Structure 1
Amino acid sequence: MTPHVTGAEEPRHGTAPGAWPFLGHLPYLAVRPLAFLDSLPDHGDVVRVRMGPRTVHVVSHPALVRRVLTDRGSFDRGGVLYDKVRAVLGNGLATCSNAEHRGQRRVLQPAFHHSLMERYAAVMAAETAVVTGGWRSGAVVDVTEEAFRLTTAVAVRTLFSAGVTARAAEELREALDVLLRGVYARVVAPALDRVPSPARRRYRRALARWRAGVAAIVAAYRATGVDHGDALSLLLAVRDERGRALSDAELGDQVATLVLAGAETTSSVVAWALRLLADHPEVAARLHGELDAVLGGRPVTGADLPRLPYTGDVVREVLRLYPPAWAVTRTAVRETELAGRSLPPGSLVICCLYLVHRRHDVFRDAARFDPGRWAAGEVPRDACVPFGLGATKCIGDVFGTVEATLALAAMASRWRMTPASPRPPRPVPRIVLSPGPQPMLLAERGAADH
């Protein structure tokens, strides 16, 4: 039986120390975000942090996170984070307000119907074979970059399977990479948009390329009127309660949301998993044993997943330690209280899932990478929520988990990976929790390994 949360009885309030004049805690968030986050629980379950002139409330208590994410009458999506992300993704499912969310989710739900997962899994397996097909023993590859290439390719093929050239897909991937780095920087330091620089020019060029690329794909689909059986075809056929089709702008916003959900979040899980396996040979050995017994050296398919429980637990444990959506923000829309303290309207609250998942009063040996804790039933159901909670829980949770599990199984069944540098990963500040560049030495597992 899965236990419930048994965290601290009375949440503590506190203030993060070390704020710089004018800048607040921005230097820590910009340079060493995880180290700064790891320091916050020492000061409370709700900690006031200064981001320049703004004060935000960072929440790391499971019960309080549930309250913020499910109390839609008191908290809504808003604030600088959503403003900056909307500039890239538009007003899609990942960024829209509570009032629009239900209608938008209904529009997108058919693209994630369980009946489509077998088709999606086949695409995932095929694209993993393409990416790893160029790997050679003795070569060094950046597994973070390779994982992003893979998940972007999967997102593009499952979204729009026809009419997208390899070059167009690569241009979308390159633009998205620049944008995802730039969004986090603009959330932390909004003034970047007002300072002329090469980085600002790159960001604006990438945004223009992204919008033009998505618009061209939507226009091509609309012009042909052919049902390709993919997500974009489904969206083109959707009608709202008044019988109205989605406009080109609305389609573009939803496509951007799906590419982000299908690419950036899942790639970070795969990249972290490969690093954690390299650092924990005992976990890698058990994983290899399961993969060898089930697959026997053949490629993995979606049908194999029910027989790969430990592989699935590895992915779940990565999601616990390094949840892609590590900081979920909400804005108070009316005067409300949080753990007994009043918050005025407009207060920005950050639910830090990264900290929730690492609470020592909830998880045994909380910082340890231990996939075995899942089969042992040691994970409280309310304290591990990598895909969020309530009505706004990620619509692509099953899609992303299946993709990460298939990718990990395909890579680990054939390859051993050793970090090319003994230095630990230095996470790159993005809107998801990415491990940053990770060059690894490849060694193909021979017959003796199977």
Structure 2
Amino acid sequence: MTNSPSSSAHAVPTAPGRVPLLGHIPSVLRHSPVATLRSLQAYGDIVALHLGPATVYVVNSPDLIHRMLVTEADNYRKGRLFTRSADMVGNGIANSDGEFHHRQRRLILPAFHRTRMRAYGDVMRGQTEAISDAWQPGTVLPLEKEMNRLTARVTAKTLFTSELGDRAVAEVQETVPIMTKEAMRRVMVPDVINRLPTPGNRRFFAAIARIRKVLDEVISAYEEQGVDHGDLLSVLLRARDEETGEGMTHVQVRDELVTLLAAGTEATGTALSWLFYEITRHPEVEERLLAELEAVLADRPVTFDDLPKLEYAARVVDETLRLRTPGWMSMRRTRADVELGGVHIPAGTELIYSPHAVHHNPQHYPDAERFDPDRWLSAPADRRTFISFGAGKHKCVGDHFARTMMLIVLATIVRKRRLTTVPGYKLREVAAINLRPKTLPMTVEARAE
């Protein structure tokens, strides 16, 4: 097996109950991991790869992925991707499992209730206006950095609305990119490498120490004040389990904050970068967006209550999440021996699935490489082929928050600024924790009144 994704074209699918064994994960995924995972779909519902001495299974079928995540989810736990990121997010909701995860989900969900989301929408719009109004026409922006800066401020400002959170906002902008950049590398290398004092490891743990220190200070201050600031942190501190009456410990609150900050900053910032990239490539989409915004909003700012009326904008967001899925790969691990797709898989086996590969499969999405928001006009009610936020009991708890942010940022920026890619720009993708553009330089133009 060579490093080229197309080199696996000579592998021969095996009989039912057996899977093709295609090579070693480091060599298969080293140069083009996203394209490789997409290419593996040609070899059946399940493909086997080596990860050191162990065998890892790549699950390609949406039906089998649905079994792993939803109907038979109790047979699986979080996989290597999550256990290796524990150094970063501790035992937060993205990493936790079992009854503890279920408890944390119950405690966190009220933070995303509609009444809270309405207030978050005002924060989203205000921060978007503050950043985008400062963009000078004629300048070239590193849009990927601007979107991460925006999402860091929005996420932190919804987590901490008091002045105590200002320092946390600055730390988030500096530390989260460092942590997420190193996180995927740590998944793919042996544990012994992650314990060595390499420059990357030192940066990683220094960033974690910085963000934990400032969060500890903010949490302690909130605990002493005992005041509901109307923000996410206040919800977490006041949350009580219905059965036991117990709340979260200080450390657990901090782990949940780090999880929400990492996801809200990096993943949503990446999705917004892709959103504006696709709009610049499709002027007809931009025209229809402007027409809808004019019809719904006239000359007033967007609010949370306007979002259900922005139907075309919502389809543009969904199509971006399909075509440019930030969370391109995820993992699970079997709790016991299981049968999946006619294949016997032993307990403790790692399984990989790729939302990106599913979303690009022409069997599920005709003309899959085309950016077509109107494909969602006739999308099936069964969304098992659309898994940008996962599915089942481990589906991203902040999916509504992320979609709301994308819609409000889109509606706020597109009416005031026109963004265009610089001449000669060539897209390069980076497959870290999120699939993101390496750089995305864009020229700012003022929108005509």
The TM-score normalised by the length of structure 2 is 0.90
**Range moving further from structure 2, 265-274 or 234-243:** 234-243
- After TM superposition, give the deviation of residue 30 of structure 1 in Å: 4.3
The CA RMSD over aligned residues, in Å, is: 2.1
- After TM superposition, give the deviation of residue 170 of structure 1 in Å: 1.3
CA contact (8 A) 1:13 1:47 kept: no
- After TM superposition, give the deviation of residue 351 of structure 1 in Å: 2.0
Partner residue in 1 for 2:213: 212
Q: Per-residue CA shift, 1:89-146, capped at 9, x if unaligned?
A: 1101111012322111111111011121111111110111111121011111111111
- After TM superposition, give the deviation of residue 44 of structure 1 in Å: 2.4
Relative to structure 1, the CA distance from residue 51 to residue 275 in structure 2 (aligned partners, 3 Å threshold; closer, same or farther) is farther
Inter-partner Cα distance in structure 2 for 1:12 and 1:129: 56
- After TM superposition, give the deviation of residue 305 of structure 1 in Å: 1.5
Inter-partner Cα distance in structure 1 for 2:352 and 2:98: 17
Query: What amino acid is the match of 1:169?
Result: V
Partner residue in 2 for 1:43: 43
Does 1:199 find its partner at 2:200?
Answer: yes
Q: Per-residue CA shift, 1:228-282, capped at 9, x if unaligned?
A: 1211111111223323232111111111122223222211211111111112222
- After TM superposition, give the deviation of residue 369 of structure 1 in Å: 0.8
Relative to structure 1, the CA distance from residue 424 to residue 289 in structure 2 (aligned partners, 3 Å threshold; closer, same or farther) is farther
Inter-partner Cα distance in structure 2 for 1:376 and 1:282: 20
Does 1:262 find its partner at 2:264?
Answer: yes
**Which structure 2 residues correspond to residues 252-291 of structure 1 after superposition, within 5 A?**
252-291=254-293
Relative to structure 1, the CA distance from residue 303 to residue 189 in structure 2 (aligned partners, 3 Å threshold; closer, same or farther) is same
Relative to structure 1, the CA distance from residue 412 to residue 54 in structure 2 (aligned partners, 3 Å threshold; closer, same or farther) is farther
SS of structure 2 residue aligned to 1:87? helix
Relative to structure 1, the CA distance from residue 77 to residue 333 in structure 2 (aligned partners, 3 Å threshold; closer, same or farther) is same
CA contact (8 A) 1:11 1:45 kept: no
- After TM superposition, give the deviation of residue 52 of structure 1 in Å: 4.0
Does 1:113 find its partner at 2:113?
Answer: yes
Query: What amino acid is the match of 2:82?
Result: Y
- After TM superposition, give the deviation of residue 297 of structure 1 in Å: 4.5
Q: Per-residue CA shift, 1:352-405, capped at 9, x if unaligned?
A: 111111221121111211001112346752211222211121211111111111
Q: Per-residue CA shift, 1:45-68, capped at 9, x if unaligned?
A: 222233444432111211001001
Relative to structure 1, the CA distance from residue 344 to residue 205 in structure 2 (aligned partners, 3 Å threshold; closer, same or farther) is same
Query: What amino acid is the match of 1:75?
Result: Y
Partner residue in 1 for 2:447: 445
Relative to structure 1, the CA distance from residue 243 to residue 156 in structure 2 (aligned partners, 3 Å threshold; closer, same or farther) is same
Inter-partner Cα distance in structure 2 for 1:368 and 1:227: 47
Identity %: 36
Partner residue in 2 for 1:401: 403
Correspondence for 2:372 among 365, 370, 373: 370
Query: What amino acid is the match of 1:105?
Result: R
Relative to structure 1, the CA distance from residue 351 to residue 423 in structure 2 (aligned partners, 3 Å threshold; closer, same or farther) is same
Relative to structure 1, the CA distance from residue 165 to residue 333 in structure 2 (aligned partners, 3 Å threshold; closer, same or farther) is closer
Query: What amino acid is the match of 2:122?
Result: A
CA contact (8 A) 2:143 2:442 kept: yes
User: What number of residue pairs does the alignment pair up?
Assistant: 432
Query: What amino acid is the match of 1:46?
Result: I
SS of structure 1 residue aligned to 2:388? coil
- After TM superposition, give the deviation of residue 172 of structure 1 in Å: 2.1
**Which structure 2 residues correspond to residues 113-152 of structure 1 after superposition, within 5 A?**
113-152=113-152
**Range moving further from structure 2, 416-425 or 261-270:** 416-425
**Which structure 2 residues correspond to residues 50-199 of structure 1 after superposition, within 5 A?**
50-70=50-70, 71-78=72-79, 80-164=80-164, 166-190=166-190, 191-199=192-200
Inter-partner Cα distance in structure 2 for 1:56 and 1:82: 15
SS of structure 1 residue aligned to 2:245? coil
CA contact (8 A) 1:363 1:379 kept: no
Inter-partner Cα distance in structure 2 for 1:63 and 1:363: 15
SS of structure 1 residue aligned to 2:164? coil
Relative to structure 1, the CA distance from residue 208 to residue 352 in structure 2 (aligned partners, 3 Å threshold; closer, same or farther) is same
Relative to structure 1, the CA distance from residue 224 to residue 137 in structure 2 (aligned partners, 3 Å threshold; closer, same or farther) is same
Inter-partner Cα distance in structure 2 for 1:281 and 1:422: 18
Q: Per-residue CA shift, 1:305-362, capped at 9, x if unaligned?
A: 2221111100011111222332221100111111101000011111211111122112
Query: What amino acid is the match of 1:361?
Result: Q
The answer for unaligned runs of 5 or more in structure 2 is 1-14
SS of structure 1 residue aligned to 2:122? helix
Inter-partner Cα distance in structure 1 for 2:297 and 2:101: 41
CA contact (8 A) 2:156 2:168 kept: no
- After TM superposition, give the deviation of residue 75 of structure 1 in Å: 0.9
Inter-partner Cα distance in structure 1 for 2:126 and 2:352: 38
Inter-partner Cα distance in structure 1 for 2:104 and 2:143: 34
**Which structure 2 residues correspond to residues 295-374 of structure 1 after superposition, within 5 A?**
295-374=297-376
Inter-partner Cα distance in structure 2 for 1:76 and 1:247: 24
CA contact (8 A) 1:49 1:56 kept: yes
Relative to structure 1, the CA distance from residue 28 to residue 308 in structure 2 (aligned partners, 3 Å threshold; closer, same or farther) is same
SS of structure 1 residue aligned to 2:84? helix
The answer for unaligned runs of 5 or more in structure 1 is 1-9
